Amino acid sequence: MNTPTHVPVLVQEVLRGLDAGVPGVYIDGTLGTGGHAAALLEAHPRSSLIGLEVDELSLERALTRLAAFEGRVSLYQSDYRNLPDLDIPWPDVRGVVLDLGLSSFQLDAPERGFSFNSEGPLDMRFDLRNKTTAHKILHKHSEARLAQIFREFGELRQARLLARRVISARKGDGLQTTTQLRRLVEEVCRWRPQKGKVHPAAKVFQALRIEVNNELDGLDGFLERVLRLLAPRARMAVITFHSLEDRIVKRTFLRLAGGEEKSLVRILTKKPVTPSADERAANSRSHSAKLRIAEKI
């Protein structure tokens, strides 16, 4: 495997946002290769970190990267959504960070199948123990279900037509790789590169990735359940990369803040924080990032 590095986004904003001025335990629910975790541990020398990551390959990388912080880090291969139920001792947690989606480490590895820019299998699993791959979804789901996935998770206008073409393509063996899928999408959408226009395969790959990894389910429940682990005034910082996820975070924070009986959190970001022009110029993958922060009351 090649070894691209992942550049963490909005690092200073996360550090500032989470800093309640009190040392304690921080949780990184989407550890990746450990970029935000390392920054947090460096910025808070008297704090420790619990890190969760479903992808064993990313976790291995994070283990190496965070070796310098031995004694202050506990890492688990786990879905962040299982965090509140993990059987581990819970000291006062001062902050939680989620940096959702996928990392460059995963995107740039052709064998993971996340990128339409390189030839690879139709995999797209974060958790390699997961039995569902993009190939399975494309070859087993009904036309109606495929159309729904392309429409709801990819916001693709040609969702029904693409679903129909997938059903024909899968009858032979014409839909085995990322580039075969890309070509099919380009044909269906009559793709002509145009400045400022998103490639339709980006939408389709996003949609399949969301479905394979069941990315949207349980995010709202997590934000609510994790509150009981947090010390008063502890903070939750969530970075999202598309509007479907951002909407869930925004609505969940609003619900928790505006509870009919009792407010459980205070929202610290009326509008989401976005990367500076400098960060956007330096890291093209930061473009769509949005950070929202809430504080437990």
What is the rounded distance in angstroms from the CA atom of residue 172 to the CA atom of residue 124? Answer: 22
Least distance CB 26 / ligand SAM (angstroms): 12
Q: Looking at beta carbons only, is 124 or 201 nearer to ligand SAM?
A: 124
Distance between CA 8 and CA 126 in Å, rounded? 18
**Residue 144 and residue 79: Cα distance in Å, rounded?**
29
Give residues with Cβ within 8 angstroms of 263, minimum separation 6: 256, 257, 297
At residue 109, φ and ψ (nearest 5 deg) are -100, 100
Which one, 74 or 179, has the nearer CB to ligand SAM? Answer: 74
Q: Three-state DSSP class for 1?
A: coil
Classify strands 93-99 and 290-296 as parallel, antiparallel or unpaired. unpaired
Residue 125 interacting with ligand SAM (CB under 6 A): no
Angle between helices 159-169 and 143-154 (to 10 degrees): 130
Q: Which two tokens stand for residue 287?
A: 């473009």
Q: Which stretch binds ligand SAM (CB under 6 A): 30-38, 107-115, 175-183, 253-261?
A: 30-38
For position 6 contacting ligand SAM by CB under 6 A, the verdict is yes
Q: Which of 15, 18, 27, 36 binds ligand SAM (CB under 6 A)?
A: 36
Q: Which segment (29-37, 139-147, 159-167, 202-210) binds ligand SAM by CB under 6 A?
A: 29-37
Which residue, 81 or 235, has its beta carbon nearer to ligand SAM? 81
Q: Does residue 108 bind ligand SAM (CB under 6 A)?
A: no
Residue 206 sits in the site that holds ligand SAM (CB under 6 A):
no
Q: What string marks each residue from 46 to 85 as x (binds ligand SAM by CB under 6 A) or -? A: ------xxxx--x--------------------xxx----
Comparing CA positions, the residue from 204, 275, 217 lying closest to residue 244 is 217
Taking the complex as a whole, the smallest distance from the CB of residue 210 to ligand SAM amounts, in Å, to: 10
Q: Which residue ranges make up the site for ligand SAM (CB under 6 A)?
A: 6, 8, 29-30, 32-36, 52-55, 58, 79-81, 99, 101-103, 126, 213
